[in-house]
């Protein structure tokens, strides 16, 4: 019997008994749809998550600094603009932000004087280290170009210089005798040192304040957590190549333990999702086995008649096996179509674009899995049907 004939007969049997097979097909289609959706969107969502600075904090930050114990009198630990420019050319760098800073500057307003950390930053620094502004705005590109006398205050600085009922935005403070206008207040930082820091434009810091021209640290934000280790090594090698005489003092730090914590959480969620999908598909496979066993029982006389007119055991087994595969494949086609619609819907909601290769691979994987599921689920019923004795089968009531 030709494959075409077997397939046609199998499809007719499925259509004739559609009510019996309906629940099984629905179960398989749901499992395949979930599999396609999770595989396709999982990578995209994970990639978006790794770029979500608010959720990840410092997990994707790499900091180039200096070992203070190994610095000398003739080298206080500094990087140069060409270091920054070359780092920005490295693939995988989302933000590269140089900073200048110093401690023990005097901040004053009216008769109140305090000391804290003064830091000159570029506009991308707030994104590079995820430094949210609670009120007001961040230092922008225009502030850097115009060398505007503006500043953003840490909370402790703000609470020390202003009364609780006062609005500091638009007010002026003095930094070592230079007048600055407050444009923002920091809030929700991961590093508590920023509470006692005042941020000013990078260009202003280098031009107006002594000991604030040298670039002491460079913050790099990787595009996602998967490349942090590789990017850290590339940054280290680049800086060593640019500063070979100070190789012992160069330090490039990251936060691998935080990356591992987030990755473990993501992996745990994935495991539960895939486990739930596998259970759904396995139950669908068991459903195929049960309905096919019932079909063998109901069609015993038909099987005996076919054997009597010349059908071999191999033909009978092939028919029932192909019927099982067709049931699974039908569920897979419905599941793939449903998964495609679900992926399109999620793309619009999350405003993301998954990898097309991953999507097509998930479709192919769904089809392949459905075929394997159909074969394994139908093997027992098909074998039982093929082993029936023709005479006993024809006399079965």
Q: 131: which residues sit within 8 A by CB, 6+ positions away?
A: 125, 138, 186, 189, 194
Backbone angles phi, psi at 284, to 5 degrees: -65, -40
Beta bridge partners of 218: 64, 98
Residue 56 has pLDDT above 70, yes or no: no
Beta bridge partners of 215: 79
Q: 161: which residues sit within 8 A by CB, 6+ positions away?
A: 107, 108, 109, 112, 114, 153, 168, 173
Q: Output the pLDDT for position 393.
A: 55
Residue 228 has pLDDT above 80, yes or no: yes
Q: Output the pLDDT for position 53.
A: 46
Q: Tell me the mean pLDDT in the region 78-92.
A: 91
pLDDT for 123-149, tens place per residue?
A: 999 988 888 898 999 999 999 999 999
Are residues 68 and 49 in contact, defined by beta-carbon separation less than 8 angstroms? no
Residue 63 has pLDDT above 70, yes or no: yes
- Give dist(CA 298, CA 303) in Å, integer: 10
**49: helix, strand or coil:** helix
**217: helix, strand or coil:** strand
Percent share of the chain, pLDDT over 70 = 87
Buried b (16+ CB within 10 A) or exposed e, 107-131: bebeeeeeebbbbbbbbbbbebbbb
Highest mean pLDDT among 61-75, 87-101, 234-248, 326-340: 87-101
160: left (phi over 0), alpha (psi -120 to 50) or beta: alpha
Residue 54 has pLDDT above 50, yes or no: no
pLDDT for 41-53, tens place per residue?
A: 766 666 665 555 4
Q: What number of other Cβ atoms are within 10 A of residue 66's Cβ?
A: 19
- Give dist(CA 47, CA 352) in Å, integer: 10
pLDDT for 164-223, tens place per residue?
A: 889 999 999 999 889 999 999 998 766 788 899 999 999 999 999 888 888 989 999 988
Q: What number of other Cβ atoms are within 10 A of residue 311's Cβ?
A: 18
Q: Output the pLDDT for position 383.
A: 80
Q: What number of other Cβ atoms are within 10 A of residue 134's Cβ?
A: 12
User: Of 5, 127, 104, nearest to 58 (Cα)?
Assistant: 127
Query: The pTM is what?
Result: 0.64
> Element (H or E) spanning 96, and its range?
strand 93-109
Q: 377: which residues sit within 8 A by CB, 6+ positions away?
A: 285, 286, 288, 289, 292, 324, 328
- Give dist(CA 154, CA 356) in Å, integer: 44
State the distance between the two ends of the chain, measured CA to CA, in whole angstroms: 27
Q: Tell me the mean pLDDT in the region 95-103.
A: 92
Residue by residue, DSSP assigns 109-135 as ETTEEEEEEEEEE-TTHHHHTT--EEE
Are residues 248 and 70 in contact, defined by beta-carbon separation less than 8 angstroms? yes
**354: helix, strand or coil:** coil
Residue 392 has pLDDT above 70, yes or no: no
Q: Output the pLDDT for position 121.
A: 96
Q: Tell me the mean pLDDT in the region 81-109.
A: 89
User: Of 22, 19, 33, nearest to 281 (Cα)?
Assistant: 33
Q: 361: which residues sit within 8 A by CB, 6+ positions away?
A: 39
Angle at 322 between CA 321 and CA 324, to 5 degrees: 65
Residue by residue, DSSP assigns 201-214 as EHHHHHHHSTT-SS
- Give dist(CA 325, CA 25) in Å, integer: 11
Q: What number of other Cβ atoms are within 10 A of residue 132's Cβ?
A: 14
- Give dist(CA 112, CA 172) in Å, integer: 13
Q: What are the tokens at 14?
A: 């499925």
For tokens 């290769």, what's the residue? Answer: 357
């Amino acid at each position: 019997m030709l494959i075409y004939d077997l397939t046609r007969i199998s499809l007719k049997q499925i259509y004739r008994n559609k009510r019996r097979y309906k629940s099984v097909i629905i179960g398989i289609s749901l499992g395949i749809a979930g599999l396609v959706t999770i595989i396709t969107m999982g990578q995209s969502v994970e990639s978006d998550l790794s770029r979500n600075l608010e959720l990840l904090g410092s997990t994707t930050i790499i900091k180039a600094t200096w070992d203070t114990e190994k610095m000398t009198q003739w080298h206080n630990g500094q990087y140069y603009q060409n270091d920054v420019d070359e780092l920005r050319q490295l693939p995988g760098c989302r933000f590269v932000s140089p900073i200048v800073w110093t401690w023990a500057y005097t901040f004053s307003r009216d008769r109140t004087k305090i000391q804290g950390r003064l830091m000159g930053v570029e506009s991308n620094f707030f994104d590079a280290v995820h430094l949210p502004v609670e009120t007001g705005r961040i230092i922008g590109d225009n502030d850097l170009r115009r060398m505007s006398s503006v500043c953003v205050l840490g909370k402790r600085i703000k609470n020390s210089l202003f009364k609780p009922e006062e609005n500091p935005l638009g007010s002026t403070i003095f930094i070592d005798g230079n007048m600055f206008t407050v444009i923002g207040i920091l809030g929700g930082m991961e590093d508590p040192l920023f509470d006692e820091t005042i941020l000013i434009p990078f260009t202003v810091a280098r031009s107006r304040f002594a000991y604030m021209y040298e670039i002491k640290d460079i913050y790099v934000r990787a595009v996602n957590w998967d490349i942090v280790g590789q990017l850290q090594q590339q940054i280290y090698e680049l800086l060593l190549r640019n500063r070979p005489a100070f190789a012992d003092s160069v330090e490039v730090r990251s936060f691998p333990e935080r990356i591992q914590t987030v990755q473990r959480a993501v992996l745990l969620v994935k495991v539960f999702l895939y486990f739930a999908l596998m259970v759904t598909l396995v139950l669908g496979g068991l459903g195929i086995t049960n309905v096919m066993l019932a079909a063998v029982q109901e069609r015993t006389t038909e099987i005996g008649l076919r054997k009597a007119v010349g059908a071999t055991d191999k033909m009978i087994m092939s028919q029932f096996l192909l019927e099982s595969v067709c049931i699974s494949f039908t569920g897979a086609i419905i599941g793939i179509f449903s998964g495609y619609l679900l992926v399109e819907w999620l793309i619009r909601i999350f405003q993301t674009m998954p990898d097309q290769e991953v999507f097509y691979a998930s479709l192919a994987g769904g089809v392949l899995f459905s075929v394997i599921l159909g074969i394994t689920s139908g093997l027992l019923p098909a074998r039982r049907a093929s082993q029936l004795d023709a005479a006993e089968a024809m006399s079965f009531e």
